Structure 1
Amino acid sequence: MKMKSFKLPSLQTINGKLIIWLLIIGLVPMGVATTIMYQQSTAEIMENEQTSMQVLAENTAQSMQQWLEIRQAELQLAAKTDNMRSLDPQQQIRLVNTLKEQSQAYEAVLFTDEHGIVRAHTRKESINVMNLADRDYFKKGMQGQASFSDVIVSKGTGKRITPIATPVLGQDGQVHGVLSASVQIDTLIDKFLSAKTVNSNGMYPILVDNLGVIQYHPNQELIGKKTTEAGFAPDMVSLMETGSKASGSAVIDDHGETAVVAYAPLEINGFSVYLHVPQQAILSATVAMKMMAIWIAIVAALLIIIVAWLIARSISRPIRVVSEQVKKIAEGDLTGNNLALRRKDELGQLAQHINHMKESLKEFIGQVHVAADYVAESAGEFTANAEQLSKTTEQITISMQHVSEGAAQQSVGVNTSVIHLDELSRGVQQIADSSASIAEASGYTIQKATNGGEAVEKTVSRMQSIHAAVTDTDQLIRLLEERSTEIGEISEVITGIAGQTNLLALNAAIEAARAGEHGRGFAVVADEVRKLAEESQVSSSKIAQLIEQIQQDMVRSLEAMRHVKEQVEDGLHAVRETDSHFYEIVKSAQDVTDQIREMAAISEEMAAGTQQVTSSFSEIARITDEANHNTQEVAAATEEQLASMEEITSSAQTLNMMAAELRDKLSKFRVE
């Protein structure tokens, strides 16, 4: 089987235009929507990430604070034990060792008396040797205040520590010393911050103490420096001043790179936790989304081309067939088969109406042909009869002139007068016979003209029926145009719903991604919902564009129907003019008949007069005078009759020309 080669349609055809417009209307909104969705998704991801980081920073700071509060509560509870309040060094030493063994968080646990001398210590070499009277936390403890100290370097290990101190009351209720424990900063970092250092999304934490000194940073060279001396960007330095007072998040310019920073303070000791992540790392997940959108656009373009080609072909083929049929009808060719579009849509209805119009025109043109032939034939007969009558009248005129001359010469001789009277009698009888024949022919002509007028009236009725059918078709097409507009509005509502569904599906996918393994199943469902929403949006856009093209085709159909309507109205006007001409013909023929009958009556009177002349020769003189007088009247009447016959002949020739013109106009219509 030989495959048909695919040929791109011309841009001048409906196929080409529909494909181009569907591509434009399908891809441009898709591109715009994809761009807007990508930008909105990016903004939403940034906002969600910023919120998530702020929550994470607050949770981290809260966890660290709770952990430090637990350590402080442990010391306060130990300070209230009898072993500690007894002020017995041996019991106090056992207690501090027990505390250190129970918690790995402490580097050292010690008791300092009211003079600042260490009386109990987890390191024996420090007992009664170390003097802490100059430390702020000792001074606060002696004042009855529990406190956290600034970060210092341990004299014993050289590591950074933050001492926790609480006063110890003796049995008398007075402060007799301070119980303190050194919490290693590294322990705090390992427990809460190390796992967040340079994770998969590029985020890293920063820990700043109450003095603005960096206690943790992935870059080890920055640890121990003040934030103002670490080379941070101005936005970061300004943010660190705020972060020590309240929690929050912000997008900053970090040396030309956009980054998101979340921060939260530790109220218990004035520390601040900062979480830093580059924007590029946050948006790395959107790269796959962008590529997927590009592939979706490519696939959508191919689908639009295929669907548009199929739709355009299903529309353009019947339109082309209908256009060819209408063109033939406009050229007057009513032959050939009717349209055979087995469709139940508007195009099928249009084809049925055109077939009905063609059959009506064919029937009407056939009837007009018959009527025109009949009118032409009658006009020819009428013209011939009028010419014959004109000749007869001319002969009568000549005869009457002869009669008049004979009457004038009657005095020459009776014999000559008798002969002339005999000829006159025969001539008058001939006139009477001719007048009767002419009257009969005129009556026949009137009947023919009347029949022609009735045929034209039937033609007018047919033309009015065709005009009504064309008007009904025009109204039907306008109704279809209104229904197409309503479907377009419904399609726009579907597009809006699909867009909202797509956005909800995207939000659901983001929430599912946050939920991790537990949200994976929900993410699959959300992705399927999003795909269905996108397919609904694309389909509704295609429907909207197809409806718009159908509305444009309806406008062109209305223009074509308007042209056909004008042609029918012109034909109706022409037939009405023909009916008017037939009316004039009947009226003229009636006038001729009346004149002929008058002439016949005169001829009968002349015949009676000649008989009287021949029967009574004695009155020949008087009869001659009367005959002379009568012949003069007859001569005048025949001259008038001759003028009337010339007018009848002219009218008959005009009718013949009109019949020929009607035949010429009808000749362009072919019905067989």
Structure 2
Amino acid sequence: MIKRIKKSISLKVLTSLVGVTIFVFAGTGVVVNYYNSNVLNQNINKSLTDNATVISKDVNSFFEQGGTLVTQMATNDSIRSLAEAVQTKADIKANANYATVLKSLQNIKATDKNASAVYIALEKPSYIFVDNGKDSPADWDINKRQWYWDTLKAKGLYYTAPYVDALTNKMVITIAYPIFDANGKSVGAVGVDYLIDKLPEIMKQYKAGETGYTFLLDTTGTFMYNPDQSKVLKEKFTDAPGTAGEIGKKMISGENGVATCTINNSDVYAAYAPVKSNGWSVATVITKSEVQKQLVTFNTILITTYVIGLGLLIVALFFVTRKILKDIPKLLEVIKKVAGGDLTSKVDVNSEDEIGQIAEAINDMNNNLNNIVGKISANSQNVSASGEELSAVISEINRQIQTINAGTQEIAAAMEETSASTEEMNSSSALIKGAIVNLNSKAQDGNNSAIEIKNRALNMKKESEISKKAALDMYREKEIAILRAIEDGKIVEEINSMAGIIGQIADQTNLLALNAAIEAARAGEHGKGFAVVAGEVANLAVQSTETVQNIQNLVGQVKTAFENISQNAGGILEFIDKKVTLDYDEMINRADLSLKDANDVSELINDFSKNIGDVSGSIEQLVKSLEAVSAVVEEVASGASEIAGTVNDTKVSADEVAQVAEAQADLAVTLNNIVNEFKF
């Protein structure tokens, strides 16, 4: 089958189109199935969620109805007054509101058929006041009633877990509400035992599909309703394995949502919603198999449609391809004739499409081939004759090549002698070049020495100028300081004058002291104290006179020393100004002379080096010329050798061309025989 497809264009086209169509149909089917599956899941999720929400609202309304009764009881003034007033059991029936309260309890029970019992729990007397008016059992103890304390803890409406009532043997829950006095202290609670046997009727009203069902959980996760009665009040959905148990935990936590899980070994969709009044939760369930059944039905219809459409398409494509490709056999027949050498065949096709154009192109090809073969046949004989003429020309060329080869060998021998002479001249030039290079190196060393001498002279000049400047700066600075010090030394004379004045004052003080002593002696006993003071003053005057003399002696010595220093300092300044400065100038002048001599030597060496460079350049130019001549000679010799080799190669090539010419003549004969096989 595969070989048949490979040999048939129509089968190839048909197979390709069918394959593409199947691929498109399959891709479309996958997309449609994916889209329909999503839409179906969304619809199922919405439907289940809506049902769960509606059921939760109905169940919530059911419980709120009972809660409303209890709330009304808790707000009844008569009931509150009774609960606050009674202290003992004897006070209950003796209370003025007893009859009113009993009637109210009976009326409340009558308003709702689900109310199994209506009562008031009184805390202080530990008494339960029931709507039937019967006395509380003797062993009834409010402290042992957990629902009462849970109600107080809730501080509002409270729903108990379901239980079987002992009197009616029916499933009930207790709905209670606490009663507090004006001080906020608990005095009791009102309650209703509420029948919940109506819940299954509410739950059964809603069903999704054929396999769908609903169930109800209390706050512990226990089934309150389930189509399977064996699970009611006996199993907890939260204990279910896998995802089902996780959904149960979300339900009792008050969440709502949609999820998939496995219940009773069946994969299901489950939507759940909370009952707001008492914290219970409802769920609606439908099996996946029922949901997928709709999708399977749709897919079956879709696949059937695709198969029918594909069959019709294959039939249509078969006839269309046969119609389009009907002229292909005619083309194949003509092509086979052309392959056999018949260039006179023509294709008879009236189509104007691509196949018709191919037929026209084949006819044109036959015409062109016919013309080409005719020309080849006509020219093949000319090629044979030209080959024979070419062979004769090649023989003449070979004779001329031998003559050229002999002359080339003589030229090569002469060039070898010239090359030897050139090499000897090149060697002599190399020796001269080496001597010039050595002389140039010596000149360069001399130039470097002159530069070094120049640099030293320049440095000596700079250092002398710097030293001279430093000496002059110090000379000017110290000259000013010394002159100022000499000027300041004149104060010694002032000190000497002041010492003389102090001496005169001391002499006068001594005279005053003598006068004071005389006056004290005249005063007798009254002048003794004054005589002592006068004696002390006289002593001080004598000491002052001696001190002044010492000062004058020291000042004289200082003056003499200062005059010596001033004379010596003046001599030093004069030495620096007249001797040191001139020595520095002499050093600078000598440095300038050394610098000038170094420049002259450097210029002389540079000129010498330049002349050596010119000679070296000429020698190098001569060497280059000799090298160029040598290279030319070598090239000429090499060229002559190459010419000789080329001439030999040319001779060989000419021989080969002669052989080719002979072969060409033979090929022309063969080609003419081949062309004669065509029919044109």
Determine which structure has more spread, i.e. the larger CA radius of gyration.
2
TM-score under structure 2 length normalisation: 0.47
